[in-house]
Amino acid sequence: MKCYMPTIILEEDNVVFSSEQIFKKLGKKALIVTGRSSAKKSGALGDVLDVLTKCDIGYEVFDEVRENPLIVQAFNGAIKGIDCDFVIGIGGGSPMDTAKGIAVLIKNGVEDYIDKLFGKKDYDAVPVVAIPTTAGTGSEVTPYSIFTDEQKNTKVGMARRVFPKYALIDVKYFLSMPKKVRISTVVDAMTHAVESFVSTGSNFYSKLYSEKAMELFGEYKEYLFEDSIEPEIFKHFVRAATLAGIAISQTGTSLPHSLGYPLTFYYSVPHGVANGIFISEYLKVCVEDDVEKVLVATDFDSLDELGDYLVKVIKQVTPNLKISDEEIMKYCETMMQNTRKLKNHKGEVRFDDVLTIYRKSLEHYE
């Protein structure tokens, strides 16, 4: 049985300001990786720049990461930060994931970058500090880095495993999220916890994290109908996301994540919503005892109740989807080729099962 979590997690108010010594230890120049605007809006970028300036640490800012980042963005970021000693990723999963890819390329050079990120040979990375602004992916504590591959028409995981050295978590950075982002990312964290809990790779330790994440979600879930959430309450969602991140670092995710990728790629459905759509139908093909425990932890009486709740939450922010049966068949065929995800599912799952999950889940959004 194994549990590995090398990331040092610091969660407190004004954590960026109390981390001066950490930044000083990491080097003389930082590359800051962000999306277009959220790092500024959340206040995190301003705080980081203040602290780096105070510590006399030089920096570059690469603020071109888009949602569901393209692989080439890791290349572009690495060019900008090639002389930096470490990388600070600020934002949701997109900038934090890209920061990890950039860290590999800064350490090893940008030539043959596809091979360095996705090839068989292993490559190290310069240190990464992750500062999350969405309570979703858990990327601040996972070794994963997900990119959009325009050649393969899907999302792909980087082959290199890069755990951030530090995760600096301050609830104030999450408060600027619009409701749509908040709902999608909290639902993503919930799916991580559930998928990890029922996974073949789960064990006593990973379940401590996934179960606690589900319990926090269960306790505060009705707040997802509110237009705004007080920091004292929201911190529980933040913790659930990080706990679920630790859990998937041990087990990976499972079928709902794979089923959701085409919805994001072809229909721009936000990542968390794309997974959340499939969770209750997916649980119908999972081991009964596991499902019972998921329902207890998330505080639902039945799978139907869980399903109805998710439809209501997701419909607040998701327009209806029109997807032809032909498309659905194509996505299910792709799913059946994803051996990595299939191996995380306990028992056998057939094409017809996947098709039923897809069709029944989407019925609510037509």
Binding site for ligand NAP (CB under 6 A): 35-38, 41-42, 67-68, 91-95, 97, 133-134, 136-139, 142, 144-146, 155, 173-174, 176-177, 181, 185, 188, 271-272
Residue 81 beta carbon to ligand NAP: minimum distance, rounded to whole angstroms:
18
Interacting span for Fe ion (CB under 5 A) from 152-160, 180-188, 284-292, 309-317: 180-188
Residue 133's contacts (CB-CB under 8 Å, 6 or more residues apart) are: 38, 39, 42, 44, 90, 91, 92, 173, 174, 176, 177
- Interface with Fe ion: number of residues (CB under 5 A): 1
Residue 47 beta carbon to Fe ion: minimum distance, rounded to whole angstroms:
26
> Which structure tokens are listed for 339?
């051996």
- Which amino acid type is present at position 263? L
Q: Which among Fe ion, ligand NAP, none contacts residue 41 (Cβ within 5 to 8 A by kind)?
A: ligand NAP
Q: Which among Fe ion, ligand NAP, none contacts residue 185 (Cβ within 5 to 8 A by kind)?
A: ligand NAP
Residue 142: alpha-carbon gap to chain centroid: 8
Closest CA relative to residue 33, chosen from 93, 84, 96: 96
Q: Which is nearer to Fe ion, 19 or 139 (CB)?
A: 139
DSSP string computed for 297-315: HHT-SSHHHHHHHHHHHHH
Residue 257 beta carbon to Fe ion: minimum distance, rounded to whole angstroms:
6
Q: Which is nearer to ligand NAP, 229 or 295 (CB)?
A: 229
Quote the CA–CA distance of 43 and 122 in Å, as a whole number. 36
Count of helices and strands (H, E) across the chain: 17, 8
Quote the CA–CA distance of 209 and 68 in Å, as a whole number. 26
Residue 310: alpha-carbon gap to chain centroid: 18
Quote the CA–CA distance of 163 and 293 in Å, as a whole number. 29
Residue 21 beta carbon to ligand NAP: minimum distance, rounded to whole angstroms:
26
Q: Which of residues 185-204 bind Fe ion (CB under 5 A)?
A: 188
Residue 178 beta carbon to ligand NAP: minimum distance, rounded to whole angstroms:
6
Q: Which among ligand NAP, Fe ion, none contacts residue 98 (Cβ within 5 to 8 A by kind)?
A: none
Residue 177 beta carbon to ligand NAP: minimum distance, rounded to whole angstroms:
4
Q: Which is nearer to Fe ion, 81 or 95 (CB)?
A: 95
Q: Which among Fe ion, ligand NAP, none contacts residue 18 (Cβ within 5 to 8 A by kind)?
A: none
Q: Which is nearer to Fe ion, 39 or 190 (CB)?
A: 190
Q: Which is nearer to Fe ion, 194 or 295 (CB)?
A: 194
Q: Which is nearer to ligand NAP, 223 or 308 (CB)?
A: 223
Cβ atoms of 292 and 302 within 8 Å: the answer is no
Q: Which residues of 326-357 are buried (b: 16+ CB within 10 A; e: fewer)?
A: eebeebbebbbebeebbebbeeebeeebbbeb
Q: Which is nearer to ligand NAP, 42 or 280 (CB)?
A: 42
List residues near Fe ion by CB under 5 A: 188
